[in-house]
Amino acid sequence: MSSRPLLQVRGVTRRYGPRVGCREVSFELWPGEVLGVVGESGSGKTTLLKCLSAQLVPDAGAIVYDTRDDGPRDIFALSEPRRRLLARTDWGIVHQHPVEGLRMGVSAGANVGERLMAVGARHYGRIRGQALDWLGRVEIPRDRIDDLPRTFSGGMLQRLQIARNLVSRPRLVFMDEPTGSLDVSVQARLLDLLRGLVAELGLSVIVVTHDLAVARLLAHRLMVMRGGAVVEHGLTDQVLDDPQHPYTQLLVASILHP
Amino acid sequence: MDPAVTIAGLSKQFTLHVQGGVILPVLSGVALTVAPGECVALHGASGTGKSSLLRLVYGNYRCQAGSIVVRHRGESIDIATATPQKILELRRHTIGYVSQFLRVVPRVPAVEVVAEPGRAFGMSRLEAEHRAERLLSRLRIPERLWHLPPATFSGGEQQRINLARGFVVDFPVLLLDEPTAALDADNRRTVVSLIGEAKARGAAILGIFHDAEVREAVADRLIPMRGLSQAA
Amino acid sequence: MDGYNFAYLDEQTKRMIRRALLKAVAIPGYQVPFASREMPLPYGWGTGGIQVTASIIGADDVLKVIDQGADDTTNAVSIRRFFARTAGVRTTERTAEATIVQTRHRIPEAPLRDDQIIVYQVPMPEPLRWLEARETETRKMHALAEYGVMHVKLYEDVARHGRIATAYDYPVMVSGRYLMRPSPIPKFDNPKMDRSPMLQLFGAGREKRIYAVPPYTTVRSLDFEDHPFDIQRWDQRCALCDAGDSFLDEVIVDDRGGRIFVCSDSD
């Protein structure tokens, strides 16, 4: 494990007028670590994720990312081109609804190849080769490479979105309810695939979910959010098996066990 | 020899906020040590906090007071205050834990479930799977099940998968929570010899053994647990 | 013609358009917004090109107009007549005689000189629109030269057709900086834009944008290393003039499906 965190978050606050999106959130994320952010809708977890991934500018606080070239840098102090480049290459964003993260009008292969082309790949054969490789890794049949995403099932779309993000070998991936739009039967397959890829690629992941079972399977650590603030954080199994905060206890006690 | 595990003044209570803040004391002032090569059995009726103690050592529960110092690669780490990253590191390299129930991961075949701690420890896929297969066959899991996910296995089969997971890495510290509860005589004997081998290589073992025969065969010392108090 | 200013547009409007043109020439390939006027013909009939031409034309100019790739189409004839009546200028069908060539769909086969200006009519100026609907975002992409995704379109072509099948309005990089749509000319004409002595002006009336390629500016068509840019070639020669290096139209000449290939540019 590297000697310094990949992401340092300090006092991040974001308001929407008088309403608080997230408040005074601080944590560190280490290389290879998966952090789960749990809480019910409106708890601020999606606002936090948008701030962390530079889609929203926080009102206060700092988000320091360990860049490949220059070490730790406040992402909002970077020039916009650099921040956009970072988001397109070193980061990945997996949306809950695949249509938000995919180009539905172009083929699966073009979806996967886009990031490569965005950073200058100009050899069609090699771009296609990598797209084929990634489709295989996310368990999409290779002969679907020229098909439009709209012909794919929900699970396949989500796997395609993952391939599209991972092809640029990001170090940090943001996931917003990655299994939220899927049937239970395909959730397991996706989770298993994600677990494998995260371990194999040494990815750091911040995954927002309201599903504690997803959090338990994917995350090393958990942050529990309520009303925009973090009320508890710790090892995933510790938070879920020995919750300390009243709200976490309520959350854990509310799970249905089949 | 320095103990592998040193517990001092350990207290644990649950505050049940959902039930109006009821406080449930579980452990108070627990002190014990486990030396390398030694098997210490926690002994007492159910509800005396034996499983909670193992979970505290594994970092699964948080304590209210006390320390749980574990020798980890020449360092002394206090689980009670260690960072999550440190606890995960200890779980990868130092502490093995066999719980009573297997928490199954959907879709992952048995052999990979067992090999996983080996991979996390840093073994090659081949070595981890080789060790996993050897343990599965020693624990009499039929080969036709190796490549199926254990979700549909019987209780006894799942427990043996869990045992194999705990022994696939030569952990310096092993926590065993009723490892033979659902096993037949043959498999109980296998577990006894696995524990014996672990002790012989210097593992410090802290366990709960409901089965008197197994307990007598493996335990060097008994620590009686009597709800909230304990004589060393 | 009485009651109209020279070349139809009022002088204030011409000055506004000339300022936009100067800025466009100064930043090759950059789309300059301008206050496009209502013209006496609908959008899509060349209102952008006509406004540009009206702003640069003088009494001594000789105008050639190409529409649907030819001089003798209804719209080309109308536009020529429009300027003949409102500006009293001479018109021609001969490329060499013209000082201004307003065009839709073609660049003339005869090379243009440095004393000639070509004015393109542009329906859709934004090359990034197909992948990004937000104007604020496409402007940002131009500002940051984030053009890599443009190759996604070329990728789709190769994946579907085994080659880059885009045959007209083929995207180009201007002076290594701005991505530009050359308007719906066949890609056959793209090489004529590169390092050409002529001044090239582009007007999009409905979209209210003006852009330009100054003389001797590099204009490179996008491509892949393993699928380089290439222009169409014909096995046939022109059935009328026997030219072997021009862009050919296929013309059906009888009721039995008989066909001949003739030069698209009849000059």
- Touch B-A: 3+ C-beta pairs under 8 A: yes
Task: Answer whether C64's CB lies under 8 Å from C95's CB.
Answer: yes
The answer to whether the CB atoms of B107 and A238 lie below 8 A apart is: no
Task: Answer whether C103's CB lies under 8 Å from C118's CB.
Answer: yes
Q: Say yes or no to pLDDT of C252 above 80.
A: no
Task: Give backbone dihedrals phi and psi of A42, rounded to 5 degrees, phi first.
Answer: 85, 5
| Per-residue pLDDT tens over the stretch A24-33 | 999 999 999 9
Q: Which two tokens stand for residue A196?
A: 């494998």
| Neighbour count for residue C186 (Cβ, 10 Å) | 19
The span from the CA of C230 to the CA of C167, in Å, is 10
The whole-number pLDDT of residue B1 equals 67
User: Cβ neighbours of residue B60 under 8 Å, at least 6 residues apart?
Assistant: A235, A237, A238, A241, A242, B97
3 state SS of C148: coil
The whole-number pLDDT of residue C73 equals 87
User: Mean pLDDT score of chain B, rounded to an integer?
Assistant: 93
Q: Using CB atoms, list chains with 3+ pairs below 8 Å to chain B.
A: A
The whole-number pLDDT of residue B231 equals 38
Contacts by A227-232, CB closer than 8 A, 24 or more apart: A227/A20, A227/A23, A227/A43, A227/A44, A228/A20, A228/A21, A228/A22, A228/A23, A228/A43, A228/A44, A228/A47, A229/A22, A229/A23, A229/A24, A229/A25, A229/A44, A230/A25, A230/A26, A230/A27
Q: Which two tokens stand for residue C243?
A: 């030219």
Distance from CA of C257 to the nearest CA of A (A): 36
The count of C-alpha atoms lying within 13 angstroms of the C-alpha of C124, restricted to the half-sphere facing its C-beta, is 12
Q: Say yes or no to pLDDT of B232 above 60.
A: no
- Does residue C241 or residue A47 have the better pLDDT? A47
Of C140, C159, C225, the CB nearest to A110: C159
Of A191, A220, A245, the CB nearest to B88: A220
- Does residue C231 or residue A65 have the better pLDDT? A65
Beta strands in C49-175 (DSSP E): 62-66, 90-91, 100-103, 117-121, 172-174
Measure CA C234 to chain center.
23
Q: Say yes or no to pLDDT of A75 above 70.
A: yes
Q: Say yes or no to pLDDT of B230 above 50.
A: no
Q: Say yes or no to pLDDT of B229 above 70.
A: no
The span from the CA of C150 to the CA of C242, in Å, is 38
The answer to whether the CB atoms of A123 and C224 lie below 8 A apart is: yes
| Per-residue pLDDT tens over the stretch C148-178 | 889 999 999 999 999 888 899 999 999 999 9
Band the pLDDT of C103: cuts 50, 70, 90.
Answer: very high
Among residues C199, C33, C30, C47, the alpha carbon closest in space to that of C122 is found at C47
User: Mean pLDDT score of chain A, rounded to an integer?
Assistant: 93
The span from the CA of A77 to the CA of A41, in Å, is 30
**Chain A residues within 8 A of B84 when measuring between CB atoms:** 220-221, 234-235, 238
Residues pairing with C100 in the sheet? C63, C117
The whole-number pLDDT of residue C236 equals 79
The answer to whether the CB atoms of A235 and B87 lie below 8 A apart is: yes
In which element (H, E) is residue B207 found? strand B204-208
Band the pLDDT of A258: cuts 50, 70, 90.
Answer: low
Q: What percent of chain C has pLDDT over 70?
A: 99
Q: How far is CA B117 from CA A237, B51, B90, B192, in A?
A: 16, 22, 12, 21
Measure CA C12 to chain center.
25
Helix, strand, coil proportions of chain B in percent (round to 5)? 40, 25, 35
Q: Where are the alpha helices (DSSP H) in C45-134?
A: 47-56, 74-86
Among residues B181, B174, B179, B180, the alpha carbon closest in space to that of B197 is found at B174
The answer to whether the CB atoms of C159 and A127 lie below 8 A apart is: no
The whole-number pLDDT of residue C233 equals 80
Q: Mean pLDDT throughout B175-179?
A: 95
Band the pLDDT of C1: cuts 50, 70, 90.
Answer: low
The answer to whether the CB atoms of C224 and A145 lie below 8 A apart is: no
| Per-residue pLDDT tens over the stretch C199-217 | 999 999 999 999 999 999 9
For chain A, say whether B106 makes contact (Cβ under 8 Å). yes
Among B220-229, C27-36, C61-70, C139-148, whose mean pLDDT is lowest? B220-229
Among residues B196, B204, B169, the alpha carbon closest in space to that of B1 is found at B204
| Per-residue pLDDT tens over the stretch C51-101 | 999 999 999 999 999 988 788 888 899 999 999 999 999 999 999 999 999
Q: Which two tokens stand for residue B17?
A: 């906020």
Tell me the pTM: 0.88
| Per-residue pLDDT tens over the stretch B95-153 | 999 998 888 777 889 999 999 999 999 999 999 999 999 999 999 999 999 999 998 89
For chain B, say whether A255 makes contact (Cβ under 8 Å). no
Q: Indicate the residue type of B12.
A: K
The answer to whether the CB atoms of A33 and B85 lie below 8 A apart is: yes
For chain A, say whether B61 makes contact (Cβ under 8 Å). yes
Q: How far is CA B229 from CA B9, B26, B34, B48, in A?
A: 11, 9, 19, 9
Measure CA C13 to chain center.
22
Task: Answer whether B193's CB lies under 8 Å from B168's CB.
Answer: no
**Chain A residues within 8 A of B14 when measuring between CB atoms:** 242
Q: Say yes or no to pLDDT of B53 above 60.
A: yes
Q: Say yes or no to pLDDT of C23 above 90.
A: yes
